[in-house]
Amino acid sequence: MAAVQLDEAQFWQSIAILIKNYHALNKKLFEVLITQVQKLQQGKLYESNEAELEQQLRTNANERTCEGFRIGYKMLTKKLATNILANGTVDFSKQSYECHFLGYDGFDDFSVNLIGDQLEAVTLPHRVELGCEQSSCWAQFVLKPKLYKWSQGKRDESAQKSLRLLDVEMYSELYKKLKQKHAQRLLQCWQTANESTDPLKFIYEDLAIAAYLITLWNCTQSQPTAFADLGCGNGLLVHVLNAEGYRGYGYDVRRRKLWSLYPAQTNASLIEQTVEPNSFSLDYPDIDWLIGNHSDELSPWLPVLAARLKTSFFLLPCCPFELSGVKYQRRNTSISAYQDFLIYARQISDKCGFETLQDRLKIPSTKRLALIGLKHTTKANQCLEHFVQQELQKHKAGVDSAANSVKLREKAESVRNCTQVEKSIIDALVLKIFCMLLANANTTSNAMDNDWLPGQQLTMRDIAQGLTKAELSGIKSECGGIKTLLRNKHEVFEFCGEDRIRIRKPKAAAAATESTGKQVTTKKRPCFFKQHHPQGCPLKGNECSFIH
């Protein structure tokens, strides 16, 4: 790594981040808790706090009021049975920071120093003497680059701390317990059901959400009498909460394969029912918590339903939707669509009379900001209903005025992977894109292809601009659109990086098997290239996987 010059302010900025984020450098750790802060003043130690530590680290050298700090840590581990204690020493005069782990040899004691304008990060000598060459490499190639990055970044005052509403240690211990208790058995259920979704993501994510909810209920003294998970999907969150002693139910428009594999208690608690917002009522009157865990079209309705039914709510939104069920239309293009939707959902919650809380979860998902409504400041009233009707009128197509209902999702899941589009539409689009790629083909031929014209490469943007609105409308509702269509026609097209597409040169069946290691299935369809390429198919009839 090329030497980077640092000034003192940049050095202490990186240390301030390191003190609270050491777990970002060590995958064995879940979080770092500061248990004690003492400041060194005129050679004596005095009790201090995190706020003063942070303030002194950010203060100019000539304005500091102490010589350094001693810091006590509790390192919360992800898998180890016990947590790890450590202490750190900040020395302003020596421009150094040291960290020592107490009674545990699995982590690296280290020192970080500013020497002149150069950063030094080293493993402390006694660790190296024990033969820990790998530890020395960690300091040089993991710790030091991260410190450089932190030293150059701008301080983000608005950055939201994860799990700020919880006792983090309580959450960490519960999450470890839930993983040990449920993960392996749930993985077996996934395999038995032959689910196509990634079990590791869904299982660990829902276990983390269950741990969050249980800890939140304990920390806020808001234990539910019963809960209802609206849009519960595979029912995993309902199952885990039921297994941990929390009575509750899951509602979803469709049964899932996993439902039948859960214990009888959970199976009886999963209800196949459309949640129609304007007519939905609870079958169990003692439900006092609503949960929306990636509930898609129902997400903006959670605060409304909670206000109408006089319950608290937990909402973890994912895909953004309007109250009418259409895709969310951004109001503020200066921020991401997800952030904009969160503001919209929070505004709805505020109009419903909730004191709305927001927190960031630690889950394997980029969509991990949760909205929580614990207390009503006012009752849901005509003002709320007027707001709801105004929102619905923006998209009248989503409202069934005759039945006074809101159309969110059909019971039968639509297939939107271009396989259900009329064949004539698919064939016309494939042929046109193929001709676009062959345009000026003579200039792209080369000897390596034996003068068989491979055509040019085009970006997805180029292809979309070359099609008419009428042609695009045939597949505009499909997931992935043109890209999905081209992937489905992999015998004709191939992607070549940076969202570029080209014609795939046919390979003989034997050669294709050798290059991919997979047996090529002989197709019973006519060869596209023989029919449409100006030079026909470059393969002989007995070599091609398609009919000549």
Name the more confident of 4 and 306: 306
The answer to whether residue 139 sits within a structural domain is: yes
- How far apart are alpha carbons 18 and 14 in whole angstroms? 6
pLDDT attached to residue 376: 75
Mean pLDDT lowest for which of 263-267, 288-292, 374-378? 374-378
Residue ending a domain, among 88, 117, 152, is 152
Q: Are residues 366 and 249 in the same domain?
A: yes
The DSSP 8-state label assigned to residue 403 in this structure reads T
Q: Are residues 201 and 338 in the same domain?
A: yes
The answer to whether residue 217 sits within a structural domain is: yes
Q: Are residues 91 and 132 in the same domain?
A: yes
Which CATH number belongs to the domain containing residue 372 in this structure? Answer: 3.40.50.150
- Closest listed residue to residue 435, CA positions, set 546, 532, 537: 532
The DSSP 8-state label assigned to residue 504 in this structure reads P
Q: Are residues 270 and 327 in the same domain?
A: yes
pLDDT attached to residue 191: 86
- How far apart are alpha carbons 72 and 251 in whole angstroms? 47
- Residue 384: beta bridge partners? none
Q: The pTM is what?
A: 0.74
Query: Which amino acid, one-letter code, is at 101?
Result: F
Residue ending a domain, among 406, 431, 451, is 406
The DSSP-derived string for 158-187 is TPPPBTTTS-HHHHHHHHHHHHHHHHHHHH
Q: Are residues 173 and 118 in the same domain?
A: no
The answer to whether residue 184 sits within a structural domain is: yes
Q: Are residues 255 and 377 in the same domain?
A: yes
- How far apart are alpha carbons 57 and 405 in whole angstroms? 58
pLDDT attached to residue 124: 85
Q: Are residues 95 and 148 in the same domain?
A: yes
Q: Are residues 114 and 197 in the same domain?
A: no
- How far apart are alpha carbons 3 and 363 in whole angstroms? 36
Burial of 79 (0-12, 13-18, 19+ CB in 10 A): exposed
The answer to whether residue 228 sits within a structural domain is: yes
Is there a contact between 508 and 537 (Cβ–Cβ < 8 Å)?
A: no
Mean pLDDT lowest for which of 119-123, 130-134, 174-178, 314-318? 130-134
Name the more confident of 403 and 433: 433
pLDDT band of residue 478 (cuts 50, 70, 90) is low
Q: If you compute the radius of gyration of the chain from its CA atoms, what whole number of angstroms results?
A: 30
Predicted confidence (pLDDT) at residue 416 exceeds the cutoff of 60:
no
Q: What is the dihedral of CA 154, 146, 369, 215, to 10 degrees?
A: -130
The answer to whether residue 545 sits within a structural domain is: no
Q: Are residues 70 and 196 in the same domain?
A: no
pLDDT attached to residue 381: 62
- How far apart are alpha carbons 109 and 105 in whole angstroms? 9
The answer to whether residue 82 sits within a structural domain is: yes
Q: Directed axis angle between helix 236-243 and helix 199-219, to 10°?
A: 50
The answer to whether residue 96 sits within a structural domain is: yes
pLDDT attached to residue 315: 97
The DSSP-derived string for 295-336 is -GGGTTHHHHHHHHHT-EEEEE--S-B-TTSSBPPPS-TTS-
CB-CB neighbours of 259 under 10 Å: 21
Is there a contact between 91 and 67 (Cβ–Cβ < 8 Å)?
A: yes
* Mean pLDDT in residue range 390-400: 66
- How far apart are alpha carbons 15 and 98 in whole angstroms? 10
Q: Are residues 86 and 118 in the same domain?
A: yes
Residue ending a domain, among 383, 406, 429, is 406
Give the contacts of 438 (CB within 8 A, at least 6 positions apart).
453, 455, 456, 503, 533, 534
- Domain limits for position 76: 8-152
3-state DSSP of 204-270: HHHHHHHHHHHHHHHHCCCCCCCEEEECCCCCHHHHHHHHCCCCEEEEECCCCHHHHHCCHHHHHHE
Q: Are residues 111 and 226 in the same domain?
A: no
User: Could you give the number of structural domains in the chain?
Assistant: 2
Q: Are residues 140 and 172 in the same domain?
A: no
Model pLDDT for residues 165-217, shown as the tens digit of each residue: 999 999 999 999 999 999 999 999 988 888 777 788 889 999 999 999 999 99
The answer to whether residue 330 sits within a structural domain is: yes
Q: Give CB contacts under 8 A, 24+ apart, made by 6-11.
A: 6/114, 6/117, 6/118, 6/119, 6/148, 6/151, 7/117, 8/61, 8/95, 8/114, 9/60, 10/151, 10/152, 11/95, 11/114, 11/119, 11/151
Q: Which residue has the tokens 């969150």?
A: 237
Mean pLDDT lowest for which of 323-332, 352-361, 412-421? 412-421
Which CATH number belongs to the domain containing residue 147 in this structure? Answer: 3.30.530
- How far apart are alpha carbons 144 and 1 in whole angstroms? 10
Is there a contact between 357 and 158 (Cβ–Cβ < 8 Å)?
A: no
* Mean pLDDT in residue range 506-519: 62
